[in-house]
Amino acid sequence: MGKHLVLIGGGHAHMVTLAKLHTFIEKGHRVTVIGPSDHHYYSGMGPGMLGKTYTPADIRFRTRHVVEKQGGTFICDKATKIIAAEKQVVLASGEKVGYDIISFNAGSYVPRLDLAEDAQDVYSVKPIERLMEAQARILALAARKKITIGILGGGPSSAEVAGNIWQLTQNAQGHRPAIKIFAGKRFMSRFPGKVSAKIKRILTQRGVAINTDGYVQSVQSGAVTLASGATHNLDFIFLAMGVKPNPIFRNSDLATGPDGGLRVNECLQSVDHPEMFGGGDCIYFEKQPLDKVGVYAVRQNPVLYHNLMAALEDTPLQPFDPGGDYLLIFNLGGDSGVLRKRWLLMDGKLAFKVKDYIDRKFMKEFQAIE
Ligand SMILES: Cc1cc2nc3c(=O)[nH]c(=O)nc-3n(C[C@H](O)[C@H](O)[C@H](O)COP(=O)(O)OP(=O)(O)OC[C@H]3O[C@@H](n4cnc5c(N)ncnc54)[C@H](O)[C@@H]3O)c2cc1C
């Protein structure tokens, strides 16, 4: 008898499952996909969209369309809680949806510190779709006066956002803003010194200031205060301090990793609920904690698809092998990037061209099914 497969989030690890959704239906199963938007945005191209290299249409997948076209059901809502004992997922609207097999690819979020919900001109780097709103607001403010933009966090998304705000405002009418990164104690601290030095050089040549005087302790509308007590006035603030897995699991009393991600075994299956699977930023891969990068979510696709079908059809599961070192390319705006893979380190236009080629190819492959 057919079973009910529920997918929470149409993120990067569900791409193959979504593209082959019809194969579940052809075997007599029902598929429901739940997500807060009809589209999913590809984060690797998010900073490029902020800088106007890409349009929103270039970097998004039509999730609802792809699901409905293949005979699935799409519910535009957010999962908030799982009642594992009843095999039910609770949505923000209050609706409950039952499942036989469920898979999570609900991503991560940037913690908002103690910020008031109505704080003015404070944006997170995620969700990616909000970068469009941030872009419009920066252009409107910069058209009126010289503004100072602060980016909190010293990692890759902070560097990419800084470079792409520079690109955005270079090409726009109005005043050039001052751009300041608040990087804590060290900029790009997870990366080898040569990588951070190259990125730092490119950004500082463009006038981006990188503050390493310590961590930001509090954020107010219009200012940040560091642990030292020093206050910096800012007209616009970006939060880019690193991400945490979607809070659904902690809200649901499920086994999680130390970061709150769904704790999964090597088959991407929950360690205490065999009917639950997951991929991407929202899981904690017990065998080997993984960096929160899209590369792993993309690599998990075929295994997740195979295992969801196997769980529905009672056939053997496959283990996921995270693979070795991965290619990293940072888009720093102005058509320039920094590329790193093992011993290879390269910067400039070619590095950006390689990233642009890979990202566009990925988009084309999955947009083709639309
Ligand atoms: C600015 C920026 C640039 C980045 N650039 C790169 C890069 O170049 N290369 C790289 O490898 N990584 C990059 N990363 C990291 C990358 O974004 C993540 O590792 C990647 O997005 C993880 O994919 P995911 O599918 O798990 O999550 P997401 O891409 O966040 O997708 C999650 C999906 O779930 C949906 N969702 C969220 N909450 C719920 C809910 N409650 N219920 C249902 N659905 C929900 C969302 O709408 C979204 O569609 C970047 C991150 C940022 C912030």
Residue type, 294: G
Q: Around Cβ 209, how many Cβ atoms within 10 Å? A: 14
In a domain, 194, yes or no: yes
Q: How far apart are CA 93 and CA 161, in angstroms?
A: 33
State whether 275 and 295 are in the same domain.
yes
State whether 131 and 238 are in the same domain.
yes
Instruction: Say if residue 51's pLDDT is above 80.
Output: yes
Reported confidence tier of residue 171, pLDDT bands at 50, 70, 90: confident
187-238 pLDDT tens trace: 999 999 999 999 999 999 999 999 999 999 888 889 999 999 999 999 999 9
Query: From the CA of 104, how far away is ligand 1's center (Å)?
Result: 12
Please state, in angstroms and as integers, the Cα–Cα distance from residue 201 to each residue in 102, 176, 186, 198, 332, following that order.
Answer: 46, 20, 14, 5, 11
State whether 165 and 251 are in the same domain.
no
User: What single string gives the DSSP state of each residue in 154-172?
Assistant: -SHHHHHHHHHHHHHHHSS
Q: How far apart are CA 301 and CA 66, in angstroms?
A: 16
In a domain, 343, yes or no: no
Q: Which CATH number is 13's domain given?
A: 3.50.50.60
In a domain, 271, yes or no: yes
Domain that holds residue 11: 4-109+243-326
Residue pair 131/137 in contact (Cβ under 8 Å)? The answer is: no
pLDDT of amino acid 119: 79
SS3 content of the chain, % helix, strand, coil (to 5): 35, 25, 40
Query: From the CA of 41, how far away is ligand 1's center (Å)?
Result: 8
State whether 248 and 219 are in the same domain.
no
Residue pair 217/206 in contact (Cβ under 8 Å)? The answer is: no
30 DSSP assignment: E
In a domain, 356, yes or no: no
Please state, in angstroms and as integers, the Cα–Cα distance from residue 227 to each residue in 118, 128, 176, following that order.
Answer: 24, 29, 29
Query: From the CA of 314, how far away is ligand 1's center (Å)?
Result: 30
Q: pLDDT above 90 covers what percent of the chain?
A: 89
State whether 168 and 219 are in the same domain.
yes
Q: Read off the pLDDT of each residue in 6-32 and give the average, rounded to a whole number.
A: 97
Residue pair 166/138 in contact (Cβ under 8 Å)? The answer is: no
Closest C-alpha residue for ligand 1 atom 22: 294
CA angle 115, 124, 138 (to 5 degrees): 105
pTM (two decimals): 0.94
Closest C-alpha residue for ligand 1 atom 8: 44
In a domain, 339, yes or no: no
Instruction: Say if residue 113's pLDDT is above 80.
Output: no
Atom of ligand 1 nearest to the CA of 13: 25
Q: Locate 350 and state its tokens.
A: 């070619």
Closest C-alpha residue for ligand 1 atom 17: 43
Query: From the CA of 233, how far away is ligand 1's center (Å)?
Result: 30
Q: Read off the pLDDT of each residue in 118-130 and give the average, rounded to a whole number.
A: 89
In a domain, 117, yes or no: no
Closest C-alpha residue for ligand 1 atom 40: 78
In a domain, 336, yes or no: no
Q: How far apart are CA 332 and CA 186, in angstroms?
A: 19
Choose the residue to mutate in 12, 43, 330 for probing ligand 1, maximizing ligand atoms within 8 Å of C-beta: 43
pLDDT of amino acid 242: 86
pLDDT of amino acid 305: 98
Closest C-alpha residue for ligand 1 atom 36: 106
Atom of ligand 1 nearest to the CA of 110: 53
Pocket-forming residues, ligand 1, beta carbon under 6 Å = 8-13, 34-37, 40, 43-44, 46-47, 78-79, 105-108, 125-126, 157, 160, 246, 248, 280-282, 292-295, 297
Closest C-alpha residue for ligand 1 atom 5: 44
DSSP 3-state assignment of 136?
helix
Q: How far apart are CA 142 and CA 130, in angstroms?
A: 18
State whether 86 and 126 are in the same domain.
no
Q: Rounded mean pLDDT of the chain?
A: 95
Choose the residue to mutate in 32, 126, 293 for probing ligand 1, maximizing ligand atoms within 8 Å of C-beta: 293
State whether 276 and 216 are in the same domain.
no
Residues recorded for the chain: 370
Atom of ligand 1 nearest to the CA of 40: 49
Atom of ligand 1 nearest to the CA of 329: 8
Q: pLDDT above 70 covers what percent of the chain?
A: 98
Give burial (CB, 10 Å; 0-12/13-18/19+) of 55: exposed
pLDDT of amino acid 116: 66
Residue pair 110/119 in contact (Cβ under 8 Å)? The answer is: no
State whether 266 and 210 are in the same domain.
no
296-355 pLDDT tens trace: 999 999 999 999 999 999 999 999 999 989 999 999 999 999 999 989 999 999 999 999
Reported confidence tier of residue 186, pLDDT bands at 50, 70, 90: very high
pLDDT of amino acid 1: 81
Closest C-alpha residue for ligand 1 atom 30: 107
Count of structural domains within the chain: 2
Query: From the CA of 136, how far away is ligand 1's center (Å)?
Result: 22
Q: Locate 325 and state its tokens.
A: 């070192």
State whether 202 and 269 are in the same domain.
no
State whether 204 and 287 are in the same domain.
no
Name the one residue in this structure whose structure tokens are 């990793």: 257
Query: From the CA of 59, how far away is ligand 1's center (Å)?
Result: 13
Q: Locate 344 and state its tokens.
A: 């290879």
pLDDT of amino acid 117: 66
State whether 289 and 234 are in the same domain.
no
DSSP 3-state assignment of 355?
helix
Query: From the CA of 229, how far away is ligand 1's center (Å)?
Result: 34
Residue pair 333/340 in contact (Cβ under 8 Å)? The answer is: no
Q: Around Cβ 228, how many Cβ atoms within 10 Å? A: 10
State whether 226 and 250 are in the same domain.
no
Pairing of strands 73-76, 60-61: unpaired
Instruction: Say if residue 104's pLDDT is above 90.
Output: yes
Residue pair 329/339 in contact (Cβ under 8 Å)? The answer is: yes
